[in-house]
Amino acid sequence: DTGVSQDPRHKITKRGQNVTFRCDPISEHNRLYWYRQTLGQGPEFLTYFQNEAQLEKSRLLSDRFSAERPKGSFSTLEIQRTEQGDSAMYLCASSSFSGTSGSSYNEQFFGPGTRLTVL
Among the listed residues 2, 27, 84, 100, the single contact to another protein using CB under 8 A: 100
Instruction: Verify binding: residue 108, another protein, rule CB under 8 A.
Output: yes
User: Which is nearer to another protein, 45 or 74 (by Cβ)?
Assistant: 45
One DSSP character per residue, 41-101 reads S--EEEEEEETTEEEEE-TTS-TTEEEE-TTSS-EEEEESS--GGG-EEEEEEEE-----T
User: Which is nearer to another protein, 18 or 41 (by Cβ)?
Assistant: 41
User: Which is nearer to another protein, 57 or 66 (by Cβ)?
Assistant: 57
What is d(CA 9, CA 4) in angstroms, rounded to the nearest whole number? 12
Sign of CA dihedral 52, 11, 90, 106: positive
Among the listed residues 95, 114, 116, 118, the single contact to another protein using CB under 8 A: 95
Strand ranges of the sheet holding 5-7, from the earlier edge strand across to the other edge:
5-7, 19-24, 75-79, 65-68
Instruction: Verify binding: residue 117, another protein, rule CB under 8 A.
Output: no
Q: How many residues bind another protein (CB under 8 A)?
A: 28
User: Which is nearer to another protein, 22 or 80 (by Cβ)?
Assistant: 22
What is d(CA 92, CA 89) in angstroms, rounded to the nearest whole number? 10
Please report, as residue ranges, which positions from 25 to 84 form the binding site for another protein (by CB under 8 A): 31, 33, 35, 40-45, 48, 56
Instruction: Verify binding: residue 23, another protein, rule CB under 8 A.
Output: no
